[in-house]
Chain A
Amino acid sequence: MSTEHRESVPVLIFPRQTLVSLLVFALAWEVLSHLAPALGIPPFAIPSLLRIAKAITTITPLDIAVTLARVIAALIVSFVVGIMLAMAMYRSDTLDKYLHPMIRILMAVPVVSWILFAVLWFPGVEFRIGFVLVVVCGPVFLVDTLDAMRSVPRELRQMMRSFRPTTLQFFVKLMLPAIVPTIFTSWKVNISLAIRVVTIAELVGAVTGIGHQLSVAQELFSVADVFAWTVVLVALLFLLEAIVARIETRLLRWRA
Chain B
Amino acid sequence: MVAIERLDLTIAPREVVAIVGQTGCGKSTFFDLMIGLEAPTEGTIHIGGKSPHTDFDSFRGRIATVFQQDRLLPWRSALDNARLPLELIGVAEAEQRQRSLAWLNRLGLGHFTNAYPHELSGGMRQRVAIARAFSVQPEILLADEAFGHLDEVTAAELRETFLNLARECGSTAILITHQLEEAISVGDRIVVFGKSAKLLADIHVKQWPKTKHALLREAIQVTLQSNAPDARLALS
Contact = CB atoms under 8 A, between A and B. Distances in A.
B112 A174 contact: no
B56 interface: yes
A162 B60 contact: no
Contacts, number: 65
A3 B84 contact: no
Nearest to B118: A256
A163 B85 contact: yes
Interface string A165-202: 11001000110011010000000000000000000000
Nearest to A4: B119
A4 B85 CA distance: 28
Contact of A1 (B69, B74, B111): B111
Interface in A221-256: 252, 254-256
B87 interface: yes
Interface residues of A, number: 23
B71 A156 contact: yes
B75 A1 contact: no
B61 to A, nearest CB: 8
Contact of B67 (A3, A155, A169, A254): A155
Contacts of B57: 164
A232 to B, nearest CB: 37
B71 A177 contact: no
B235 interface: no
A166 B65 CA distance: 17
B88 A159 contact: no
B114 interface: yes
5 contacts: A161-B35, A162-B65, A163-B65, A177-B75, A254-B116
Given A161-B35, A256-B118, 11 more contacts: A1-B115, A159-B71, A161-B37, A162-B37, A162-B63, A162-B65, A163-B88, A164-B56, A173-B73, A180-B75, A254-B118
Closest 4 CB pairs of A and B: A164-B60, A256-B118, A159-B71, A162-B65
Interface of B: 35, 37, 56-57, 59-61, 63-65, 67, 69, 71, 73-77, 84-85, 87-88, 111-112, 114-116, 118-119, 142
